[in-house]
Structure 1
Amino acid sequence: MTIGSALSVGLIGLKAFAIQMQAFISPGLPYFSIIGLPDASLSEARERVKSACQASGFKWPETRVTVNLSPASMPKRGSSHDLAIATSVLSAANHIPHDCLADTIVLGELNLDGSVLPVNGVLPIGLYAREHGIGRMIVPQANVEEAELVEGLDVTGVRHLGELIELMGGKARYHLDDARPAAQPDDAATTGERRTAPGDMAEVLGQEHTKWALEVAAAGGHHLLMTGPPGSGKTMLASRMPGIMCPLDEQAQLEVASVRSLCGTLAAYGITDVPPFEAPHHTASTASLVGGGSGVAKPGAITRAHRGVLFMDEAPEFSPRTLQTLREPLESGYVSLSRAKGTTYYPARFQLVMAANPCPCGYGYGDGERCTCREKDRIRYFSRLSGPILDRIDIQVEVPPIDHIIQTPSARQTTSAEMRARVIAARQVARSRYAAQRWTCNAEASGSWMRANTSRSALKLIDLALEDSRLSLRGADRAMRLAWTLADLGGRTSPGHDEMMQGIALRTRET
């Protein structure tokens, strides 16, 4: 009877947990079993591990081999544990020393020829290792660059199981030249944002009022709805939003990179301080937006937009059920996905930017001469954006059509760099003000703090709006947050009458 062990790490969402692999070789008929709640892909590791070991010159034991994944109560999934399972079996068979992998995390998927393929989620696993004092990781060679993003880790990359065996002091038979090359992410499908930086606001003709609204949204972390006819520049403006936002700090960069690592797209983006930008199509399903799937739910668009922008173009064309799923994440900053095998939590602290036409044909603005829609069609179209959703959107702005393209010699378009500088300055003021509360922007401040620190004369305007039913109580808090953002942009220590009036006006859309 011989027992060998190795250490791997599993992920439920972005939450990592250690998995102790114990291989037990005992007398009996030849059989290889994996126990400890493995999913289908992990159960199939039996054939991959057995073939890879034989390809490396290891004679598979002609007895019973059992591998236990501890803790047995936690579900395990994926092929990233193949290399650790093979290592535990090799240790149990005395093919490598028993203590050579103490306090070492082993990750990697195995091919039948023994080559090691890259896996997803290496970055959050590396952060877990550093947090728990595990100083060494063995990962596929294609994941080395990602693992080395975590400071203080001793990272070793391997391309073949035989390479790992020799690294641990054993003997192997393998040829790297014959090994199948490691699969890389589909660069063409995932590098769009990395190759194309956000465009400049100066490229947008006119729309100075809408640009100002975007600047207010970026400065305070506010959600935004733009309503206007086709071709007025709504999509163009939204796509340039990341270029005027504050650069991500180190913690936010790691959070964004961890999500991309889990999705398998980190190699396409790298570590960057540019906020992410996600723009799902209006036919997107609920699961693709919030996350889903059998077993452990996968992240959706709102998680991929964490710390960045979720842009929903043609917002009324999204299904009402899909739109309603945004309500909880907009308030809490995370999404909870419950499945039969447990609950998965993903971060979802994003800025929502919506764009909508005024009616189905798009021309129901101004005097509506060109509009061909019936009144009931207009009402039905925009009613898909329900009251609870609109109440959570801080800024609702009309985007008028452009009536000329010839610019006067004195006309000058505001650039993204200028807007970003003002946004950064306003954010720094807000961070200093909220240092004790650890809020980072006005959109995160509590209503009680706002009411206690806003002047009485400014609060009277809120009371008047509440009496006229122009604002709900939630809307009142959001109008106050807007007023504080306007004060920060204007260099004032607190909002006055003008800032509060502007905050209320930005909250209410003309109908």
Structure 2
Amino acid sequence: MVIGNAMSVGLVGLKAFTIQMQAFISPGLPYFSIIGLPDASLSEARERVKSACQASGFAWPQTRVTVNLSPASMPKRGSSHDMAIAISVLSAAGVIDHDSLSRTIVLGELNLDGSVLPIQGLLPIILFAKEHGIKRMFIPEGNQEEAALVEGMETIPVRHLGELIEMMGGKASYEFKNSQTFAEDTDENTAAHAPAIGDMAEVVGQEYAKWALQVAAAGGHHMLMTGPPGSGKTMLASRLPGIMAPLNEKEQLEVASIRSLCGTLSSYGISDVPPFEAPHHTASTASLVGGGPGIAQPGAITKAHCGVLFMDEAPEFSPRALQTLREPLESGYVVLSRSHSTTCYPARFQLIMAANPCPCGFAYGTGERCTCSERERLRYFSRLSGPILDRIDIQIEIPPIEHIIDTGEPRMSSMRMRERVMLARQAAQERFSDQHWCCNAQASGSWLRSKSSRAVISIIDHAMTANRLSLRGADRSLRLAWTLADLNGRTSPGREEILQSITLRTKEH
């Protein structure tokens, strides 16, 4: 009895696990079965693998072929295991040596002609393999650039199943037609999907809003901008990543792993620029938080991990979609449960919302141009529920621009703002050197209260007594005050900072 072996790696969310392939060729009627909790796309591998093996010169056995995917209790999905399944069958048939793939991972999707196609999610797989001491991998040639992002791994590119058979000492007979079109298309898509971030100096006026965005970037605070159409809310929000602190090495790998899983890593590579996601207001709940059949896929909040989730026209989003943001805003991750699996994705993002003051957008100032009734205005903004607004640290009004004549005064650039933000972040990181927080928005309210002066706490208490702040709002105002102190070069917030923080939360500037 000969058992063919190969090893692959599966993903449940960003969590990787080893899959041991075992193939057995037994007497019986011709039949090819894959067992071990495969999904529909993995079950379809039977036809791809059989055709690819025949295209490589292997005569498929006219008996029963069974491939087991171990551990059988873990759900497995996708076409990235095609090549490992094929190699396990070839090993069982004696085409290649049984021990040639010891401690080696094989990944790749097979075409019917035996050519190997690139896969998604390779980066978290390589990081998992390196962490567990596996140094050798066979990967599709189309994933070569992604594999090069991780040092210390021997990644061998494969273009055709026949190539792998020959590398393992077997004999293959195949014809491979190289396709340059895919690489050219990829380069074009890369240029199209990596837009440049604009400079804050391009924004006319709105100095108060720019200052508030600096505060948000320095402390990792969520923000709501309310103002009439054309006042610059979207323009300001789209430039926020340009003033945020660059991602550290760990954050870069987390973001790159998410993009690899989504198939967009080739458009960005590993970058220290925080991601920016702006879903349309018609986005479904599943597209926002993640979902789909089988193993849940990441949504916009996971794609915005370590960056910005911008929700333009926030009241136009469905109430259900907005309510699903409540838990991720607090915890920094999202758990998606299905009947066969539970997937956890990171979702530590900065939420930036933009909204008009009413459906027509002109209920500002005297409101003379507004055509909405009082009931329509209340109904429109009530879609942003109290629990959601209570989690928004900064809530400001964006007034309309009254003139576009250049006054000649220099405008602060994004680079200069970023320098100030980085200095404030550095001060916070030094303060939290014994903690696991990286910015004020993540700090514990009890810890900050214990480090704040009695005068600051008394102002917070007075605001709570006047019902201007909830208990959550009090902690968030305190975090905001510490960020303001960092930007002002102070070691702790004083009266000015705490009053400014309460003002920023209640739109009373």
TM-score by structure 1 length?
0.98
Residue deviations 1:27-82 (CA, integer Å, cap 9, x gap):
22211111101111111111100100000001111211110000011111111000
CA distance in 1, matches of 2:193, 2:412: 23
Conservation of the 8 A alpha-carbon contact between 1:256 and 1:307: yes
Tell me by how many angstroms 1:179 deviates. Answer: 7.3
Aligned counterpart, 2:478: 480
Aligned counterpart, 2:153: 153
Do structure 1's residue 60 and structure 2's residue 21 form an aligned pair? no
Aligned counterpart, 1:315: 314
Aligned counterpart, 1:83: 83
Aligned counterpart, 1:136: 136
CA distance in 2, matches of 1:240, 1:349: 19
Tell me by how many angstroms 1:193 deviates. Answer: 5.1
Do structure 1's residue 215 and structure 2's residue 223 form an aligned pair? no
Residue deviations 1:146-179 (CA, integer Å, cap 9, x gap):
1121221100000100011011111111122267
- Local SS of the residue matching 1:378: helix
Tell me by how many angstroms 1:509 deviates. Answer: 2.4
Aligned counterpart, 2:243: 244
CA distance in 2, matches of 1:457, 1:481: 16
Q: Which runs of 5+ in 1 are unaligned?
A: none
Conservation of the 8 A alpha-carbon contact between 1:185 and 1:265: no
Report the residue type matching 2:333 in the other structure.
Y
Report the residue type matching 1:119 in the other structure.
I
- Local SS of the residue matching 1:478: helix
Q: Which runs of 5+ in 2 are unaligned?
A: none
- Local SS of the residue matching 1:260: helix
Q: What pairs with 1:97-176 in structure 2 (closer than 5 Å)? A: 97-176=97-176
Aligned counterpart, 2:499: 501
Aligned counterpart, 2:15: 15
- Greater shift, 400-409 or 111-120, is seen at 400-409
CA distance in 2, matches of 1:251, 1:272: 11
Aligned counterpart, 1:267: 266
Conservation of the 8 A alpha-carbon contact between 1:115 and 1:179: no
Do structure 1's residue 464 and structure 2's residue 462 form an aligned pair? yes
Report the residue type matching 1:378 in the other structure.
R
- Local SS of the residue matching 2:228: coil
- Local SS of the residue matching 1:246: coil
Tell me by how many angstroms 1:26 deviates. Answer: 1.3
Aligned counterpart, 1:425: 423
Distance 1:224 1:188, change over 3 A: farther
Distance 1:192 1:247, change over 3 A: farther
Conservation of the 8 A alpha-carbon contact between 1:191 and 1:269: no
Conservation of the 8 A alpha-carbon contact between 1:185 and 1:267: no
Q: CA RMSD in A?
A: 1.5
Report the residue type matching 1:439 in the other structure.
W
Do structure 1's residue 198 and structure 2's residue 173 form an aligned pair? no
Distance 1:185 1:354, change over 3 A: farther
Conservation of the 8 A alpha-carbon contact between 1:139 and 1:158: yes
Q: What pairs with 1:220-231 in structure 2 (closer than 5 Å)? A: 220-231=219-230
Report the residue type matching 1:286 in the other structure.
T
- Local SS of the residue matching 1:176: coil
Distance 1:178 1:442, change over 3 A: closer
- Local SS of the residue matching 1:302: helix
Distance 1:8 1:70, change over 3 A: same
Report the residue type matching 2:4 in the other structure.
G
- Local SS of the residue matching 1:219: helix
Tell me by how many angstroms 1:282 deviates. Answer: 0.3
Distance 1:178 1:216, change over 3 A: closer
Report the residue type matching 2:413 in the other structure.
T
Pick one of 479, 487, 490 that aligns with 1:489: 487
Report the residue type matching 2:439 in the other structure.
C
CA distance in 1, matches of 2:178, 2:41: 25
TM-score by structure 2 length?
0.98
Conservation of the 8 A alpha-carbon contact between 1:116 and 1:140: yes
Aligned counterpart, 1:233: 232
